[in-house]
Structure 1
């Protein structure tokens, strides 16, 4: 056993002596995790959507719609002329441009009760931003409904339009008895319009806006399983994904190191010492697992203290980190066992690991995948590693919930290890 621990100590000293490789192994996953975490949410406030507003309708309704859009905290409104707005959207400087056409207010008021042609609001948008277009449509609909209905029920334009409609319906009632029902409705609206208006202070107390508004609000509440109720944390997932990816790259270096030792003859001299092949491989795997475990701990320590990542279960994290360390080491042994040359093995292993981390959900959460892909990726070890780390961070679960992920990782590690030993003994 003295020789076994000496081999482990030798590998650790060699790894720590290469300061440049050590810094890269730690800095790259942290920097890229911070980037992806901020890109997909993070803890920062979501930026407002850049929207250009072309206001061709300067009526009371047009001005109030424009004011409502500018006051919306989810939108960053930039007033532009039509030609400037088109140019800005084409260049990607503005995601959407809203064009309020001339005469929109009066036409929308006439169409509110089905008495006129519905006017159209052109929306110019960047084709790469379909989701943003849908959000802008929803916010625009809310503003138009509120402003137009308020003007029709209490504004000067609404009063004049109601008066005209009543005269027209009086004429139609002589030949069309059904129009009397609509006339009675508009007569009631006219009575409502004649009520004294409340001041702005009174409106704030009782909500005196006379226009139609959305009949409900939403109470958004994030839910997580287990002991934490923090909801999805993009930084937690980013640190899990980038940590898994770059530590697996370290596993490639471990396997390439064995291939280089075999090429130089150091491997044969090592086997000539009073140690068995199994001991050498186990020592190599143990040192690789220790290094992978330590790297993952340091990466998540930066995530916890620098980016607010919450670890719900410390025993669960330690268990996941140890299991992933063993998986990384066994993968390195497989690369060494089946690789013919260091150069070819590195290229093949790099490609395989990039595919594994992509399918495992390192770059984006696996719950965003199509259902068939989510099922398929259950056969990928990185999926279990990342899901397990997600479970004991932003999902707020305990070590018991992460136990299946630990077990699957150890299962893959056992298979990889047995394959490596079998191949080395045949060589």
Structure 2
């Protein structure tokens, strides 16, 4: 065992003396996690970004002006008044997501089409094709404001009276239209009675049709308040510690090429002892990096670890899996150069499918099932479970078991391959 611990100590000292590798494995995940975490919503205390849209106002009617005021007052939108050509140019250049055009005569035409079969006026919308999801949001907000303003204009004021009278004149006298004609006639009488009142006695005009409900949004999780940085730190930690595992495997191949491996095997140690020592040292380094990265997450970005035991278990199992992955690269790599290219490619695929970049719940259903065979999926889910999800130790047990199984499989396969190839 003295030789085993000496080998572990040697690997740790060599890694700590490599300042460039240490900074890459520690600093880069923190920087990238901070960036991605801000995209995922941050810690929840920051003001959410608003959608930048252009408004091209070509209609000067009262209804059009009210629609424009409603859009500008919406907390979800940041509206900029622009002429048509400039608005289209900014959308083409990707500087604005959507441009809304209120064409001339829209207010009057929309009111006339509310109760009649008249041709419905169009609201041109120009959008960036990469922002189709944003377009749907803008259309929903626009629909709400247009309906409220147009219905208000129909039920109140001189413009509404005129539109009602015009609709009654143009509507065909058929049995099918009788109920609607009676409704409009009653509305016309109501408008006349309001118009006959002195201004001092006239009731204040109210808004038109509005959404008949409101939502009460309540985020549910067993843990603390959702923090977008938690998932980002989990994903970036998994990615860069896997890259550290790649460096471990390439380092073994370089040592073998330089003859250092043969000299180590000339000592009174077996190949299995040498490989297990390298595995343990790599796991210790990975655990240290995880602790340092998440310490930054806790101190700077307010990420909460809800169960220390669960975090330690997931971190240890993932560290062992990473070490086994490094040994597997060394066992199956023919040369350091060839092994590095293949290993980096495999690592990026594992990171992508594991949900380190984009949460796995955004994947299609079939892909979510497929990624259960990828160890990084279990690692990211495990870190999520012990941070923002707050599932406790029981939520970390399944990821720990899966990662440990991958670690045993990778390490065992690597040792078998090296013994079969009679590594010297």
TM over 0.5: yes
Which residue, out of 277, 287, 290, partners 1:293?
A: 287
Q: Distance in 2 between matches of 1:372 and 1:284?
A: 37
SS at match of 1:128: helix
Q: Does 1:419 align with 2:419?
A: no
Shift in Å at residue 259 of structure 1?
Answer: 1.4
Shift in Å at residue 92 of structure 1?
Answer: 1.4
Which residue, out of 132, 135, 139, partners 2:134?
A: 132
The CA RMSD measured in Å over matched residues stands at 2.0
Shift in Å at residue 317 of structure 1?
Answer: 0.6
The residue number in structure 1 matching 2:259 is 265
Q: Deviations over 1:346-394 (max 9, x none)?
A: 1111111111111111110111111111111111111111111111112
The residue number in structure 2 matching 1:230 is 225
Q: Distance in 1 between matches of 2:256 and 2:198?
A: 91
Q: How many matched pairs? A: 414
Shift in Å at residue 307 of structure 1?
Answer: 1.5
The residue number in structure 1 matching 2:213 is 216
Q: Deviations over 1:136-192 (max 9, x none)?
A: 0000000000000011111220022224445667xx66xx46655334312322344
CA gap 1:251/1:192 in 2 versus in 1, 3 angstroms: same
SS at match of 1:53: strand
Which residue, out of 395, 400, 411, partners 1:401?
A: 395
Deviating more after overlay: 377-386 vs 259-268: 259-268
Conservation of the 8 A alpha-carbon contact between 2:224 and 2:304: no
Which residue, out of 343, 347, 350, partners 1:349?
A: 343
Q: Distance in 2 between matches of 1:197 and 1:129?
A: 51
The residue number in structure 1 matching 2:153 is 151
Which residue, out of 65, 68, 77, partners 2:67?
A: 65
Where do residues 305-384 of structure 1 align in structure 2 (5 Å cutoff)? 305-384=299-378
Q: Deviations over 1:8-46 (max 9, x none)?
A: 111111111112211111011111111111123223322
Conservation of the 8 A alpha-carbon contact between 1:223 and 1:229: no
Shift in Å at residue 292 of structure 1?
Answer: 0.3
CA gap 1:274/1:58 in 2 versus in 1, 3 angstroms: same
Conservation of the 8 A alpha-carbon contact between 1:222 and 1:229: no
Q: Does 1:3 align with 2:8?
A: no
The residue number in structure 1 matching 2:109 is 107
SS at match of 2:130: coil
CA gap 1:229/1:189 in 2 versus in 1, 3 angstroms: farther
Shift in Å at residue 297 of structure 1?
Answer: 1.2
Conservation of the 8 A alpha-carbon contact between 1:153 and 1:210: no
The residue number in structure 1 matching 2:51 is 49
Conservation of the 8 A alpha-carbon contact between 2:116 and 2:167: no
Q: Distance in 1 between matches of 2:256 and 2:175?
A: 100
CA gap 1:295/1:318 in 2 versus in 1, 3 angstroms: same
CA gap 1:52/1:272 in 2 versus in 1, 3 angstroms: same
Shift in Å at residue 90 of structure 1?
Answer: 1.2
Q: Distance in 2 between matches of 1:128 and 1:304?
A: 35
Unmatched 5+ residue regions in structure 2? none
With structure 1 as the length reference, what TM-score do the two structures score? 0.92
Shift in Å at residue 247 of structure 1?
Answer: 0.5
CA gap 1:294/1:188 in 2 versus in 1, 3 angstroms: same
Conservation of the 8 A alpha-carbon contact between 1:249 and 1:350: yes
Shift in Å at residue 325 of structure 1?
Answer: 0.7
The residue number in structure 1 matching 2:184 is 186
CA gap 1:286/1:54 in 2 versus in 1, 3 angstroms: same
Shift in Å at residue 262 of structure 1?
Answer: 1.3
Q: Distance in 1 between matches of 2:117 and 2:157?
A: 18
Q: Does 1:253 align with 2:251?
A: no
Q: Deviations over 1:196-233 (max 9, x none)?
A: 7999xx97xxxx72411111111111112x3x1534x3
Conservation of the 8 A alpha-carbon contact between 2:354 and 2:380: yes
Runs of 4+ in 1 over 6 A off after TM superposition: 196-199
Conservation of the 8 A alpha-carbon contact between 2:149 and 2:207: no
SS at match of 1:51: strand
Conservation of the 8 A alpha-carbon contact between 1:89 and 1:126: yes
